[in-house]
Chains A and B, each alone.
Chain A
Amino acid sequence: MRLSRLSRTMLGAVAGLILVLVYVPLLVVLVNSFSTSTSLSWPPPGFTLEWWRRAFASAGAMEAVQTSVVVALISTAIALVLGTLISFALQRFDFFGRQTVNLLVILPIALPGIITGIALNNFFRTIMGIPLSIWTVVIAHATFCIVTVFNNVIARLRRTGTKLEEASADLGAGVWTTFRLVTFPQLRSALLAGGLLAFALSFDEIIVTTFTAGSGVTTLPIFILNNMFRPSQAPIVAVIAVVLVLVSIIPIYLAQRLSGDEQQRR
C-alpha cells in the first residue's frame, strides 16, 4: 500500500503513542519493584532487591502462586480434553443444532466475566448446593479455557481434513492407532498453542475467580488486589505483578510463535 510521507509519519506517531500508553505503566511497575521507596514515589530514590527477597519469602505470596499454578494447570488439562472432543464432534459429524452448539462453546469467552461469575456462583451454591472451593474456580476457568483449545483444534481439523486418517485406516491401523500415530501428531502444535493460551487466561483471571473461590482460596491476582492498598506491601505487589506479567506473556509469546511457524511452513 502506498502512503504519503505525512500519513506515514502520523500513523507511526499514533502507533508509537498507543504502545507507549500500554507499556510504560508496565515498565513503571517493573522499576518500582526495585525501588527503595515504599510509597512508590517517582522517580525512585534508589534501587534494591529487598522486595524481591521479601516477596519470595512471603508465605502468602508463595501460596497464591501455587494456587494459581494448580488452578491454571487443572483447568487447562480439562480444557484440552473437552475442547478436543468438542472440536471432533463439531468438525467430523453433521447433526441437528451443530451451529448452535458451536456458538454455545465459543460464547463463554465473549460473556462479561462478572455475568459468568455471578451465574456460576449462584449455580454452585444455591442450585447444586456445592460449597465454593478451589475446584469451583477450576470448573469456572475451564468454561472459558475450552474456547482457546477449541478454536485452535477446530481450525487445524478443518485444514487437515480426513485424508490422512483414511490413509492410515487403509494401511491397516484401527481407530486408536490412527489417533495416536496420525491425528494426534497433526494436532500437537494446535493443542500446545491452545493450552498455553488457556493457561495464561486462567493464570491472570480475577473477576470470575472472585465469585467462585471458596474462602481461603487466594489466587495470585486476588492476592494482589487484597494487598495493593496496604502501603507496606506495595513494592511486594509490584514484584508479584512483574512475575504475573512474565508468566502470562511467556505462554502467549510461545503460542504465537507456534502458530507463526505453522503459517510459514505452508
Chain B
Amino acid sequence: MTDQQPAIRLTGLTKEFGAVTAVDHVDLEIGAGEFFSMLGPSGSGKTTVLRLIAGFEQPTDGTIELFGDDVTRRAPFDRDVNTVFQDYALFPHMNVLDNVAYGLRVRGIGKAERNERARRALASVRLEQMADRKPAQLSGGQRQRVALARATVVQPKVLLLDEPLGALDLKLREQMQVELKQIQRDLGITFIFVTHDQEEALTLSDRVAVFNNGRIEQLGTPAELYERPASRFVADFVGTSNLFDDRVSQALLGRGGVHSVRPEKMTVGAGETGAGIRNAPGTVAETIYLGSGIRLVVDLDAGVRVSVLEQNDRNRTHDEDRGDRVVVSWHDDDVIALGGADAAAPAPAA
C-alpha cells in the first residue's frame, strides 16, 4: 500500500441483473483523500457501483482494487470500506452508543475502549448527549450523524455514502453538506458520494463522475463539468443549459452542430455591440422572480426557447413583462460545442 496507489481502481466493472446491464464496463480511479461524487439520474448505475465497491453485489465482470489490493471476491466484512446508507440502517434494538460501537465490538475490542472511542466519534458529530437514546427517538438529521459516526469510528480507508442527505429537508441538507466536507477534511479519508442532486455534487466534490445508462458520461472537476460539458446529457443534467440544435445553431451562430449557453451567461436588453457578441431578438414568455435573481424565459425568433438568469443587482433598472420584445445577448466564448448534429430538438429551458 503506497500513496501512489489510487484508493479505488475499477477495471472493466460490469454488473448485469438478468437482461439489464446496470453497470457497463466502468473504468475509474479515485485518489486517496479525494471527495468523489457519482452523479446521475435514478437507474444510471451509480448506486450499483457503490454496492459493488461495498461488496453487497458481485460483479458480472471486471475487478475492484482497494489501494492496489484486489478485493473483487471478498465479502463485505472483509473490505476496509464502510457505508453510510440512504435510510441509515441503524440497529433499532441498540442504543446510539452501541450502534456506533458495533464495528469495534465485532472486531473484538474491549468494552471500555470501544465505548470510549464511540463516545469520541459521537462527540465529533455533536451527539454525545444522545448516547443512551434509541434510534427511533432521534430526528432524521441526528440519525444521519449517528450513521456517519458508526461508519467512521472503525477508520475505514474509504467511506461510501449512498444519497445520505436524500431524506433531509433543504435547510438541514445544506448544513449537513458543510459538516460532511469538514468531517472528510478532518479524517483525510476518501469519500465516495452517490447523489442525483447535481448542486450537491458540485458543492461538495473534488471530482464528479456523471453516470448515464451504466456508463460514465463525463469525469472531471465541478468547474470542468459545468463550464465544459462533454455531451448534451451532461450539459442538460449538470445545471441548466440552453441547448441549440443543428438548425438553431446555423441560424444563431452560423455553424452546425449542437451547442449550449448557460442562462447566467446571457443578458436581456436592447442589444449589445462588441467583438464576439451575438444578439438574438425574441419575445418574453415568462418572468420568474427568484429573489437574488430573475429568470426570464424568452422565445427567440430563431425558434428556440431560452432561459436567461439576470442578477437582481443595482444595475437592474427596469422589469420586463410577458410579451415584451427584447434582444438576448451572449459572448461567443460562452458557447459550448456539444459535438455533431445528431441531437434531437432542444429541451425547453425553464
Contact A169 B91 (CB under 8 A): no
**Which of A173, A186, A265 interacts with B106 by CB under 8 Å?**
A173
Please choose the segment from A40-48, A76-84, A130-138, A159-167 that sits at the chain B interface, where 4 or more of its residues have CB less than 8 A away. Answer: A159-167
Whether a CB of chain B sits under 8 angstroms from the CB of A227 is: no
Q: How many residues of A contact B (CB 8 A)?
A: 17
Contact A172 B89 (CB under 8 A): no
- Nearest CB in chain A: distance from B170 CB, A: 26
- Nearest CB in chain B: distance from A183 CB, A: 11
Contact A170 B102 (CB under 8 A): no
Contact B106 A177 (CB under 8 A): yes
Whether a CB of chain A sits under 8 angstroms from the CB of B237 is: no
Contact A169 B102 (CB under 8 A): no
Contact B93 A185 (CB under 8 A): yes
Q: Mark A172-202, 1 if CB is under 8 A from B, else 0.
A: 1110010001100110000000000000000
Whether a CB of chain A sits under 8 angstroms from the CB of B171 is: no
Whether a CB of chain B sits under 8 angstroms from the CB of A171 is: yes
Q: Which residues of B are found within 8 Å of A259, using beta-carbon distances?
A: none
Whether a CB of chain B sits under 8 angstroms from the CB of A168 is: yes
Q: Which residues of B are found within 8 Å of A174, using beta-carbon distances?
A: 75, 77, 106
Q: Taking each of A174, A177, A181, which has the highest tally of chain B beta carbons within 10 Å of its own beta carbon?
A: A181
- Nearest CB in chain A: distance from B164 CB, A: 13
Contact B77 A173 (CB under 8 A): yes
Q: Which residues of B are found within 8 Å of A166, using beta-carbon distances?
A: 54, 56, 76, 83, 85, 89
- CB within 8 Å of B: which of A62-110? none
- CB within 8 Å of A: which of B202-236? none
Given A167-B83, A181-B106, CB of A186 within 8 Å of CB of B56: no
Whether a CB of chain A sits under 8 angstroms from the CB of B107 is: yes
Cross-chain pairs A/B with CB under 8 angstroms, 8 sampled: A163-B87, A164-B89, A164-B91, A166-B89, A170-B55, A170-B81, A173-B77, A185-B91
Q: Mark B43-77, 1 if CB is under 8 A from A, else 0.
A: 00000000000111000000000000000000111
Whether a CB of chain A sits under 8 angstroms from the CB of B154 is: yes
Contact A171 B89 (CB under 8 A): no
Q: Which residues of A are found within 8 Å of B91, using beta-carbon distances?
A: 164, 167-168, 182, 185
With A163-B87, A167-B85 already in contact, 9 other A-B pairs whose C-beta atoms are closer than 8 Å: A164-B91, A166-B56, A166-B85, A167-B90, A168-B91, A170-B81, A171-B150, A172-B154, A265-B136
